[in-house]
Amino acid sequence: MRLRVATLNLEQDHKRWEHRRELIVEQLAAIDPDLFAMNEVCVPLQTARWIQHAMQERHGRGYALVQQTRVNGLSAVEGEALLTRLPIVETGNLDYRTLDMVALVARVKIGERGVDIYVTHQYRSRGDESLRLFQAQRLLAWIDNRDDVASRIVCGDFNASLDKPSAALMATRLRPTQTAPTAFTPLADSAGNVSHPYWPRMDRCIDYIWVGGPLEVVASEVCFNKGAAADPSLYPSDHAGVWADLRLAAG
């Protein structure tokens, strides 16, 4: 049994959202994943619901949507989300108790077997690595507590390359499907300002699809990395994403 997973940080509604959302839907339709994980969903504009509806209306791709807002004051600002074509058995969420950040999980069915897919966004790249490490520890403990399925997929912006303790800890328990650079694209706002100007463009991987259990990585690449033909500063997001084809072993 095979499935395709993709993940992308949407950069909320910043930097010409009305234009770049068209690139997201166009490239998402070309990838055609069974599961699509999203970070930085803009709550006021309901950007995940916009993508869900656009995929149905323009491409005939029907997805169910699971969302989890951040907590406290940020609950009105942004959240994590998942689009799935697979049947949902249950959902859950984790409050990291750090900077109002959260993770969500949805258990989906592949045939008669359950697979847990997690969506999370960890603390910013220039922030304290100890906070990211704490979040990775909390996430793995939560995964361990949901031990009644063997197959796990964890998607999102971890804001850390594999040489950092937080991502290195994740790699002791789960396998990244690829580690090509995902941050940051040349996306600029209408005044020409890019995200995180202190970082080089596309110099490291900080966005991942991690897999655990009886899941084989058949193929995986960076995606959402194609700019608009007429505008080299317009990209789907300030991050590139990742897609992966996975095979669930028989048994």
Is the pLDDT score of 251 beyond 70?
no
Q: What distance in Å separates the CA atoms of residue 178 and residue 204, rounded to the nearest whole number?
A: 12
Structure tokens at 50: 């916009």
pTM of the model: 0.98
- Cα R_g (the chain), whole angstroms: 17
User: What's phi and psi for 98, nearest 5 deg?
Assistant: -140, 120
User: What's phi and psi for 207, nearest 5 deg?
Assistant: -110, 135
pLDDT value for 52: 98
Q: Tell the burial category of 239 from Cβ atoms under 10 Å away from its Cβ (0-12, 13-18, 19+).
A: buried
Q: What distance in Å separates the CA atoms of residue 40 and residue 124, rounded to the nearest whole number?
A: 12
pLDDT band at 222 (very low <50, low <70, confident <90, very high): very high
Is the pLDDT score of 156 beyond 90?
yes
Helices within the chain (DSSP H only): 17-31, 47-59, 129-145, 165-173
Is the pLDDT score of 86 beyond 90?
yes
> What is the average per-residue pLDDT within 229-246?
98
Distances (CA, A) of 18 to 67, 104, 121, 155, 250: 21, 27, 23, 25, 44
Q: What distance in Å separates the CA atoms of residue 234 and residue 251, rounded to the nearest whole number?
A: 45
Q: What distance in Å separates the CA atoms of residue 171 and residue 122, rounded to the nearest whole number?
A: 15
Kindly indicate whether the domain formed by 2-246 is annotated with CATH number 3.60.10.10: yes
Beta bridge partners of 79: 41, 69
Query: Amino acid letter at 90?
Result: E
Domain residue limits, the chain: 2-246
Q: What distance in Å separates the CA atoms of residue 49 and residue 15, rounded to the nearest whole number?
A: 19
pLDDT band at 232 (very low <50, low <70, confident <90, very high): very high
pLDDT value for 168: 98
Is the pLDDT score of 215 beyond 90?
yes
Structure tokens at 197: 């100007």
What contacts 192, CB < 8 A, 6 or more positions away? 233
Is the pLDDT score of 113 beyond 80?
yes
pLDDT value for 245: 98
pLDDT value for 125: 84
Q: Which residue has the tokens 């997929």?
A: 153
> What is the average per-residue pLDDT within 125-145?
94
What contacts 89, CB < 8 A, 6 or more positions away? 107, 108, 109, 114
Q: What is the pLDDT of residues 22-66, one digit of tens each?
A: 999 999 999 999 999 999 999 999 999 999 999 999 999 999 999
Helix (H) / strand (E) element for 215: namely strand 215-223
Mean pLDDT of the chain: 97
Q: What distance in Å separates the CA atoms of residue 62 and residue 54, rounded to the nearest whole number?
A: 10
